[in-house]
Amino acid sequence: MCGIVGFTGFTNSIDDPSAVLGRMMDRIKHRGPDSEGKYVDGDVAMGFRRLSIIDLSDTGSQPIFNEDRTKVLTFNGEIYNYKELREELIKAGHSFYTKTDSEVLIHGYEEWGQDLLLRLRGMFAFVIYDKNTGELFGARDFFGIKPFYYAQMGSAFMWGSEIKSFLDHPDFKKELDTSVLETYLTFQYSPSAQTFFKGVFKLPAAHCFTYKNGELNVRRYWEIKFNADEGPDLEEWVNRISDTFQDSVEVHKFADVEVGSFLSSGVDSSYVAAVADVDKTFTVGFGEDEKYNEIGYAKEFSKYIGKENFSEVISPEEYWGNLEKIQYHMDEPLADPAAIALFFVCRLASRQVKAVLSGEGADEIFGGYNIYHNPADMASYFRIPRPIRRGVGRVAEKLPHKHGVNYLIRGSKDLDERFIGNAYIFSEKERKAILKIKTDAPDAMEITKPFYDRVRDQDQVTQMQYIDLHLWMTGDILLKADKMSMAHSLELRVPFLDSKVMELAQKIPARHRVTPENTKYAMRIAALRACPPQTANKKKLGFPVPIRVWLKEDKYYNIVKDRFTSPDAEKFFDSSALVALLDDHRAGRYDHSRKIWTVFTFLIWYDVYFRQEK
C-alpha cells in the first residue's frame, strides 16, 4: 500500500521538476513513510511513497522498470494473485528482479497490453510510462478501492493518489467547483467523476486511460453483470459463499507483516475476523450507551474466536477536535459521521499492525442494507394506481415530514426518483432553498440515470444494489476506508470486494439476498458456520455515532452555529435557514442531524483547503 503522484508537460514555471515532484510526494508521506522513489526525465516526473507490506527489502521500492528500462511503473495497492501471474510471465520469457507484486504489472503490460487488467485480483491504481512512445497508461481497480485523481491544467497533466499533492504543482489552479457543492448536499459526497476542485477528476472504478501528446482517453474495462442463476438451491449458494469467501480471506491475508482485523457488532466484520484467524481485532465506541458503543460485543466475540481485542472509547471532545485533520486527509468533504469513527479505529490499529482486514462491500454485494426491504414493504401500496399515489404524494410533501408522511411521499415516486443510494440528504428543492449561489448542477436523477439504464431489466433490489455499488460504495464507503487508513499509514484490505466473490454474488437470486425477515440472507447463513447465531442474525447498524445527541448540547450546538453564521457560510448559504434547521433539531421538532452535519462538514473542509491552506 503506497501513494503515487506524477506529472508531464514541463513548463517555464518549473525550474526543477525533481524538486516540484519532491514537494508533491511529501504531501502524501503518510501513505508511505517507509521509503520513497522518483523517476524524472525530460518528459515525465513520477513519484512514489512506500508502505512496506510485501518484499520488505529495498528491491521492492518503486519506480519499477522492465528489463530494458523502457517502461516505468508506479503503483498503489496489492495484487493478490501475483505469484501465479509471475510464474506465467517467467515462462513467457520475462525476467524479474524483485519479489514484489508490483513487478507483475509492468511485465504483464508488456505481455498482454491492456488485457492485463482482467487477469488481476486485487486493489490497484497505477501508471506505466513508455519511454519509446511517450504514452502513459493507467488504471483503477474493479471496485474503486484505491483512489486515482487527475487534472489537465495548461500543458500539465498531473495524477496522484490524493488531490492535495497537486497543490504543490506551480500550474495547479485551486478553485471550488460550486456545482459539486450542490450535488454533495443531496448525496453527502461528490457522486460523479468531478471533484470539489474545478478541473480535478476521479478516474472511475474499473476504468483505465491512456495519455499522449495532450490527448486523454478513458474507457471502462470491466462491468458488474447481475445474472441470477435459478439452478442451485439455497444450501448450494451458502456452500459456494462459504468456500469463495474463505478463499478470498486467505489471499487477502498474504503479507510479510502482521495483519489484524476491525471488529464491530455486525456480521460483516465478525465474519471476516472469524474466518481470517488473525491474532488481533480492533474496536472503538462512544460513551456507554450500547447504541453507540460496540466494545462489549467485540470483546465477547473476540473471546469466542480466541483472539485479543484492542478497544478505545472516543470522547466527544476528541471526536470534534479532530474534524479539521480528518477533512484534510479526506481531500473532499464527506458528511458521513462514520468516517470520523473510522479515523479513530485506524489510529488504534496502526499502533499494533501495518495491515487490517475490514468488512466493506458485503452490504452492496450481498444485499445487506435495510432499505433494500423497501420494494417489498411498499408492494401493497404500489398496487394503488400511480396517478392517485402521485396526488397523495403532492399533498404529503406539504406536511411535516414524519414517518407516516414520508411513507406516502416515497410511495408516490418511482424507484429512480426515491432511491439515489443510501444517503438522500437535501432534495433539489431543499438545497436550492438554503443556497445563495446559482450553479449548473444536475439533479440527482441525471446522475443515477446511466446506472439505472443498465439494469432496467432487473428486479428493484438488484437495481438498488447496482446504484450503491457504483455511487455510494465508491463515493462514501471506499473513500473513507482509504483516506482514514492511509492517514495512519495503515493498509486496509477488503476481502468481500474481490472479483471472485463478485462473480459469485451477481448470480445469486434476489430472494436469497433479501427476504421479508432479513438482508444478506444467504451470506448470513454462511456466516453461521463461523459466528454465533446472535452475530450472524444481527440487524444492520452501520457505524453508530451520536451526532444527533451532541447537536442538542450547548457546546456543540454553539460550535455549529458559529460556523453557520460565519462569513464562509454567508458566501454560499442562507445562514438564517441553516440556523433554523439547527434550532428545530435542538428543540426536537425534527431530526435534522444529517442535513446539519452535511453543511457543517463542507464548511470545515472549505476552511481547511481555502482558508488555512495557502
Give the Cα separation of 325 and 163 in Å (integer): 15
**The three three-digit cell numbers of residue 526, written as one number:** 454462511
Strands 280-285 and 308-313: parallel
Amino acid letter at 600? F
Give the Cα separation of 55 and 53 in Å (integer): 7
Q: Which residue has the cell 476506508?
A: 481
DSSP state of 471: I
**Max CA-CA distance within the chain?**
72
Half-sphere exposure of 62 (CA within 13 A, CB side): 34
Amino acid letter at 431? R
DSSP-derived secondary structure for 62-120: SSEE-TTS-EEEEEEEEETTHHHHHHHHHHTT---S--SSTHHHHHHHHHHGGGGGGG-
Cis ω for the linkage preceding 532 (within 30 of 0): no
Based on the number of CB atoms within 10 Å of its own CB, is 323 exposed (0-12), middle (13-18) or buried (19 or more)?
A: middle
Number of neighbours of residue 603 by Cβ within 10 angstroms: 22
Are 123 and 145 spatial neighbours (Cβ–Cβ below 8 Å)? yes
Q: What are phi and psi of 36, to 5 degrees?
A: -145, 165
- List 2, 208, 346, 531, catalytic entry: 2
Beta bridge partners of 315: none
3-state DSSP of 515-535: CCCCCCHHHHHHHCCCCCHHH
Q: Which residue has the cell 444517503?
A: 423
Expressed in angstroms, the distance from the first to the final Cα of the chain is 29
Q: Which residue has the cell 404500489?
A: 382
Active site residue 2: yes
**The three three-digit cell numbers of residue 258, written as one number:** 502482521
3-state DSSP of 256-316: CCCEEEECCCCHHHHHHHHHHCCCEEEEEECCCCCCCCCHHHHHHHHHHCCCEEEEEECCH
Angle at the Cα of 598 from the Cα atoms of 595 and 602, rounded to 5 degrees:
145
Are 450 and 593 spatial neighbours (Cβ–Cβ below 8 Å)? no
Residues involved in catalysis: 2
